[in-house]
Amino acid sequence: MSDIGPGVVVLAANKGFEAPGPSDFNLRDVFFGHQVLLTKLSLLLILGALVAFAFLRATSRKPSLVPSKGQYLGEQAYNFVRNGVAQDSIGSRDYMRFVPLLVSIFFFLVVNNLFSLVPILQFAPFSRAGFAYGLAALVWLTYNIAGIARHGFLGYLKLTCVPRGVPLWILPLLVILEFFSNIVVRPVTLSLRLFANMFAGHLLLLLFAGGGEYMLLHATGSFILKPAGIAAFLLGVAVGLLEFIVAILQAYVFTLLTAQYVGGALADSH
């Protein structure tokens, strides 16, 4: 764990403060290699899946008519995704088919994002872009295949790329734009949004913790530095609270956009 966080600053103490950067996100392989397969983040990803599964299983294993606190919590969260996200975005005709996917994505993301605030773990797997690309690829395949299965290949292309009710002369331009935005850019923004939020949050925490430590312990030259270091730590705590909101919000936004894309692919008109 010495390769992240304060360790960076301690090493750099002799040559002045080094601001944290993207290189802090390159972790060593757990098994002596060089980022071959298993870093801390891929282990966290597996742990996240297990925790999400364990939570849902524990809260739904023994359902009773008068729910316990745990069952109530699990049911509320499940209800929120099913009715608040899936039904509203996909429509009540065929939303049930996609509820398992959406619920899994939501809980998986919530747990994984909250890892960024759990002591010792302290790293959200999705602050590496590769994991986010993978998840977005899954979503991309889902909504395209769902659309093709419903409308046929050409029908689906027509649905996504040809907007209705526009004059004929502007269609050549619009069709290209719509294809670009609906097929090409969507998965990119979907993954980059998740990745960059987690990335920026972790970077901010690194900056406040590392900078506060440096000002408190190593920096010399002015009496204002030590109070400033304490203030930096307090601000870091505030950023941590903000991160808590962002972690859950991003999981919600990812799930909501997935549902919207699926709903758009299944809809009868553009």
Partner 1 sequence: MTGSLNMVGYGLAAIGPGIGIGLVFAAFINGTARQPEMQSRLQGIAILGFALAEALAIIGIALAFAL
Residues that bind partner 1 (CB under 8 A): 19, 21-22, 84-85, 88-89, 189, 192-193, 195-197, 199-200, 249, 252-253, 256-257, 260
Q: Which is nearer to partner 1, 58 or 224 (CB)?
A: 224
**Minimum distance from CB of 196 to partner 1 (Å)?**
4
Question: Using CA atoms, how far apart are residues 93 and 251, in angstroms rounded to an integer?
Answer: 25
Give min distance, CB of 22 to partner 1, in A. Answer: 5
As a whole number of angstroms, the distance between CA 188 and CA 230 comes to: 39
Burial class (CB in 10 A: 0-12, 13-18, 19+), 106: buried
CB 105, min distance to partner 1, A? 15
Which residues neighbour 97 within 8 Å (Cβ) at sequence distance 6 or greater?
A: none
Give the Cβ contact number of residue 173 at 10 Å.
10
Q: Where are the alpha helices (DSSP H) in 61-115?
A: 69-79, 88-90, 99-114
Of residues 59 and 187, the one with the C-beta less far from partner 1? 187
54 vs 200, beta carbon nearer partner 1: 200
Q: How far is the CB of 167 from partner 1 (least distance, A)?
A: 26
Task: Report, in Å, the least distance between residue 104 CB and partner 1.
Answer: 20
- Considering the complex, state which of residue 141 and residue 200 has its C-beta at the smaller distance from partner 1: 200
HEC secondary structure over 126-142: HHCHHHHHHHHHHHHHH
Q: Which is nearer to partner 1, 59 or 255 (CB)?
A: 255
